[in-house]
Structure 1
C-alpha cells in the first residue's frame, strides 16, 4: 500500500504538511473541515504537492522534514525547482 506526504496551501496563504495512506480521502476530509485543527480554520485548503512513499515511516519522515523547511524552500518544492531546494538547504547550513 503506498503512503503519501503532502503539502496544502491554506486560504490564509500558510502551508500545512501531512501524510496519509489514502490521499483522496484525506483531501476530502480537509475540504470539509472534518479533521478539525489547523486546516479547518483556514479553508479552503488546496493540495499543492504530494509524493508517494513505500512505507508510513518514510511518508511521516518526509512530512516532518518539510514542516521544518522555510516558506521559500516549500515553494521551491511545489515548483519542482530542485536546484533552488538544494541551494536553500546549503544556505541554511551556512555554506
Structure 2
C-alpha cells in the first residue's frame, strides 16, 4: 500500500497539504514567468505551464486526505496530537 509506505517513510498529511499549497503558488509563478520570458510564443504557452503545475495541487491534497485517514486509523493522529501541533504552530 503506497500510503502505508509513505507514512513509514515519515511523510505525514501536513507535508502533503503544504505541498498542495506550494504548488498553487508555483502554478501562478510559472505562469507569470513563462508569460514574461516567452513573450513571442503567446499566452497559450504560459497558460499551459500554469495549468500543468496547477494540476499537482489536487493530487497533493488527495494524498493529504489519504494520509490523514491512515493516521487516524493507525492511531498516530489523535485529537491530542492535533492540539499539540496547533499549539506549536501558534508558539512559532
Q: Same fold (TM over 0.5)?
A: no
- In our comparison, the structure showing a higher alpha carbon Rg is 2
Q: Which has the higher strand share?
A: 1
Q: TM-score, structure 2 length as denominator? A: 0.23
Q: TM-score, structure 1 length as denominator? A: 0.22
Q: Which has the higher contact order (CA 8 A, sep 6+)?
A: 2
